[in-house]
Amino acid sequence: MAPFRDALADEVMTSPTSAGTLSLEVAPRHVVVALADVQLAVSEGLLTITRAARRRVRRVVRPIGSRLIVARGLPSEGVGLWLEPRPGEVERVFGAEPRDLIDHADGLVALRQLDRLIRRLAAALSGVGNGVREALEIGPAADRGLDKVLLADYGDHVTVYRRSLFHVRARRLLDAHVDGRVVIPTPAGEVRVMCSSRFAVSVIGDYVRFTTPAGDDLAHVSLPWVSRGDREEIARRIGQVVERDRVSSDT
């Protein structure tokens, strides 16, 4: 019976981060991540968030809803957990950043530990990702990472989420499809444009811009909370998506 018990035993991993030791526990019926005074537990379609503040412990239980997304930080190599309680709306509920590579002699070792932990976490939560193959979060880590932009890759399209002013949750900003379609939701309805290549996606000011091959405007979306470099990286990744089908057919 020993091998059977070992197969069902909890798996525990830890990694140093900028805020202390991040721990991950994977068991047959639950997944738990904890850092400093925050613990998240996923079990049977529910997300339990526990925060310790002074002498009080606050526990919130929320249904996972549409999905729970594990996103890698770019360029920080950190991790964020994003809850999508309803379609088109996500909230960053947990995050961890790696140790500073300059200030810590073991920074690279800690970064490799964190990478292994994140990969295991993503695998453990793949069942509640509901179609998300890979996700990235791009932007500043300040204010619990609320201003980060989330890119969720579903294979045939990528959805970009961005938080608006005075809102805690980020909302769907656009869908970029591998056949070149870009769908942008607006209060007046969806705007749909076709991008023929990655060169049709660029940055101007606070905006990601979509153009014709001749350079004429088709549409644009605002990304005010991230840096110019972050906007350019987001535009680059959208450009990769809109010509993914063409690249695949060429090869």
CATH topology of domain 156-251: PH-domain like (2.30.29)
Structure tokens at 40: 């998240």
pLDDT computed for residue 1 by the predictor? 34
Give the residue from 162, 173, 234 showing the smallest Cα distance to 198: 234
Alpha-carbon dihedral angle through residues 30, 162, 145, 76, given to the nearest 10 degrees: 90
pLDDT tens profile 170-222 = 999 999 999 999 999 999 999 999 998 999 999 999 999 999 999 999 999 99
Does the bond joining 75 to the residue before it have cis omega, within 30 degrees of 0?
A: yes
Name the one residue in this structure whose structure tokens are 């453990």: 124
C-beta atoms surrounding 129 within 10 Å: 18
pLDDT tens-digit series, residues 80-119? 999 999 999 999 999 999 988 787 778 899 999 999 999 9
Q: Would you say 142 and 38 are in contact if contact means Cβ atoms under 8 Å apart?
A: no
Strand partners, 176: 158, 182
Domain boundary assignment for the chain: 156-251
CB atoms within 10 A of CB 176: 25
Pairing of strands 157-163, 207-211: unpaired
Identity of the amino acid at 187: P
Nearest to 179, CA basis, from 195, 192, 191, 201? 195
What global pTM score does this model have? Answer: 0.90
d(CA 130, CA 66): 7
* First and final C-alpha spacing in the chain: 51
User: Tokens for 27?
Assistant: 């068991």
Question: What pLDDT is attached to residue 5?
Answer: 37
